[in-house]
């Protein structure tokens, strides 16, 4: 069976490795990015009705203690879990993407969005969002990529940015299978891959499920070759 190659930064890479191992999948991690904190000035909590969290990295990389009395609208389960671990009590879990999350909220609403330096600004009528970059995802050294790809693994893509960088690094796509966390991520990776699977929902569990299927298909293809 093909192995998995995980490209997401830490600490997410280690969590995905552990989940893959629990499923009996062979995996290795080669992060393409590293998460670093950014300096930021804290807006007054009284100016906002709630926090908007679209990544667990925001609560891991920034001290948001002054906002713990505010409700949190988290994009998905992993981000909600990180918010609770950081001490937030009123955490509402969204459906997995920010546009769908905002569609569930009733305006007027003032949201503070601690976020990454690289982001897609979301908008929704009647909802005022202040985007506050508190972390950045910086390029990591991809040394060892050629060796990691030698056994034509299934590659996990956790974001469009990772898909774009991975596609730029790989000259020969024909033997590689991609498991993408979203349709946008798959589209960003481009064409020419042996196969591309998209997770049913934008979370690790669904991504590993599609990756496992791609591994089985790869093993079957090798057995019949």
Q: How far apart are CA 150 and CA 218, in angstroms?
A: 14
Contacts of 151 (CB under 8 A, 6+ apart): 2, 3
Q: What is the pTM of this model?
A: 0.84
**pLDDT tens column, 195-222:** 999 999 888 999 999 999 998 887 666 6
Judge if 4-32+143-224 and 35-138 fold alike in CATH terms.
Answer: yes
**pLDDT tens column, 81-120:** 999 999 999 999 999 889 999 999 999 999 999 999 988 7
Do 55 and 81 contact (CB within 8 A), yes or no? no
Sheet holding 91-93, edge to edge: 33-37, 127-139, 109-116, 50-53, 72-74, 91-93
The confidence score (pLDDT) of residue 178 equals 98
Q: Which CATH class is domain 4-32+143-224?
A: alpha beta
C-beta neighbour count of 24 within 10 angstroms? 8
Domain boundaries, the chain: 4-32+143-224, 35-138
* Alpha-helical runs (H) found in 157-203: 160-169, 183-189
C-beta neighbour count of 123 within 10 angstroms? 9
Task: Say whether pLDDT at 55 is over 60.
Answer: yes
Q: Which CATH class is domain 35-138?
A: alpha beta
């Amino acid at each position: 069976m093909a192995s998995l190659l995980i490209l997401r930064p830490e600490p997410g890479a280690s969590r995905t490795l552990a989940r893959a191992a629990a499923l009996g999948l062979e995996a290795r991690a080669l992060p393409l990015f590293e998460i670093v904190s950014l300096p930021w000035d804290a807006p007054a909590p009284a100016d906002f009705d709630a926090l908007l969290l679209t990544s667990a990295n925001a609560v891991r990389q920034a001290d948001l203690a002054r906002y713990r009395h505010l409700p949190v609208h988290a994009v998905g389960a992993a981000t909600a879990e990180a918010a609770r671990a950081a001490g937030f009590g009123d955490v509402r879990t969204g459906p997995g993407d920010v546009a769908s999350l905002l569609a569930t909220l009733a305006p007027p609403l003032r949201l503070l969005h601690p976020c990454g330096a690289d982001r897609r600004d979301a908008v929704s009528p009647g909802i005022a969002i202040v985007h506050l970059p508190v972390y950045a995802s910086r390029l990591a050294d991809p040394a060892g990529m050629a060796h990691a790809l030698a056994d034509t693994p299934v590659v996990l893509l956790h974001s469009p940015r990772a898909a774009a960088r991975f596609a730029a690094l790989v000259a020969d796509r024909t033997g590689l299978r991609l498991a993408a966390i979203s349709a946008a991520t798959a589209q960003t990776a481009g064409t020419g891959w042996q196969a591309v699977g998209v997770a049913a929902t934008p979370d690790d569990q669904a991504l590993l499920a599609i990756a496992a299927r791609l591994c089985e298909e790869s093993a079957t293809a090798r057995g019949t070759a």
